Structure 1
Amino acid sequence: MVDHRQRRDELIDVVWRLIVEDGLAGITIRRVAERSGWSSGAVRHYLPTREAILDAAAQRVAELIEERIKAVDASAPPLDALVAVLAAVLPTDEQIQRASLVWLAFVGQAASDAGLADAQGILYRDLNQLLVELLTMLAAMGFQVDGGPASAAVELQAMLDGLTVHVLLGRVDADAAQEVLRAAVNRLLTRPPEADG
């Protein structure tokens, strides 16, 4: 019996490799078929259009980030948990490095392509919403959030985006990037007197 999810995932892996190697411009059903060894018809069965291919690639990045964030220890002290959520997105291993390179390809093209901006928006909105929720929860616990949760979420996400690029380029190592994130969290949040984390 054919595992359709597995076969679709195999195609998305091929798409990711093509994006990392050649950027988004070269992504076509024909190129995916050639690289995967499948017929164009078989590719179209799972990913019927170029837009579907790109949406699936972006969605896989979002899923990977979500998995990594869900693996964060929810019982950790609140500020440590927030830093861990941010650090989970940093390109610290091969899988998240590839995902980050795919994300970066989307970001690079999104400024001039409204369709790609929508696909890349998935990645931005989901993480931004999570950060706002975490910061709002910390505010409810008595932490003072500089500028409010929405503003602090944007600042942390912008810093995370920049650090991701620096780590990918080898300008900053992952440990140093995590320390920068921790310093930013400590700067943006003031602990209530009774808080222990």
Structure 2
Amino acid sequence: MPKTVDHDQRRRELAAAVQRVIARDGVAEVSIRTVAAESGWSSGALRHYFATRDELLVFACEQVIEQVTARIRAMPMDGSAHDVARRVLLETMPADPERHTEAAIAFGFLALGLGDPKIAQVQRLMFGSMFELCLQVVAILAPDADATRLQGSARRLHAMVDGLTVHVLAGHLTADEMVAELDAFLAGF
């Protein structure tokens, strides 16, 4: 009897292998070969699912977006507006090893997206999703703000979150310093 294969599950397993390679070795080391070795698959079997490194990276980034979105949707929204905003934003920032890896995957797309329209499309999805999240957070923090103020505040919050994330990824700030800066920014609302 032929074995039933859950192709979606296999793709998720490969995305997890990409995340492990990035966590251990960095985005530059992701290749069909390194992910095949990490997953215990042959390169040929992996190519059945992803023909190129870019396809593999795109899928891994999409998985990160889904993971973060699912975590945020599952969060309790109790507590003060500042507490909720802080918890939600920290789900997207490199405050621990798992989120550091997710951020490394997401921001690894910045340079790659400049030369590849498919990667740029995922990059726009990532940035659009983050902006929408920031817009929702600002609406929680400033419920009486008009649309113009909400948009401007969300853009500033998005830039601040992304900037702090990049500083942690570059080793310029520690996760604790990032959290302190986030807290200081949110105190201004």
* TM-score, structure 1 normalization: 0.76
CA distance, structure 2, for counterparts of residue 119 and residue 145 of structure 1: 30
The answer on whether the counterparts of 1:29 and 1:44 sit within 8 Å (CA) in structure 2 is yes
Q: Look up the match of 1:43.
A: 46
Aligned positions of 1:25-174 closer than 5 A? 29=32, 32-139=35-142, 141-142=143-144, 144=145, 148-174=149-175
The answer on whether the counterparts of 1:19 and 1:105 sit within 8 Å (CA) in structure 2 is no
CA distance, structure 1, for counterparts of residue 89 and residue 152 of structure 2: 16
Tell me the C-alpha RMSD between the 2 structures. 2.9
Would the alpha carbon gap of residues 166 and 122 (structure 1) be closer, same or farther in structure 2, given more than 3 Å must change?
A: same
Would the alpha carbon gap of residues 167 and 32 (structure 1) be closer, same or farther in structure 2, given more than 3 Å must change?
A: closer
What secondary structure sits across from 1:148 in the alignment?
helix
Task: Structure 1 unaligned segments of length 5 or more: list them.
Answer: 190-197
Identity of aligned residues (%): 34
CA distance, structure 2, for counterparts of residue 94 and residue 160 of structure 1: 17
What's the CA shift for 1:59? 0.6
What's the CA shift for 1:19? 4.7
The answer on whether the counterparts of 2:85 and 2:141 sit within 8 Å (CA) in structure 1 is no
CA distance, structure 2, for counterparts of residue 71 and residue 79 of structure 1: 18
The answer on whether the counterparts of 2:131 and 2:154 sit within 8 Å (CA) in structure 1 is yes
What's the CA shift for 1:49? 4.7
What's the CA shift for 1:22? 5.6
* TM-score, structure 2 normalization: 0.78
What's the CA shift for 1:107? 1.6
Task: Structure 2 unaligned segments of length 5 or more: list them.
Answer: none
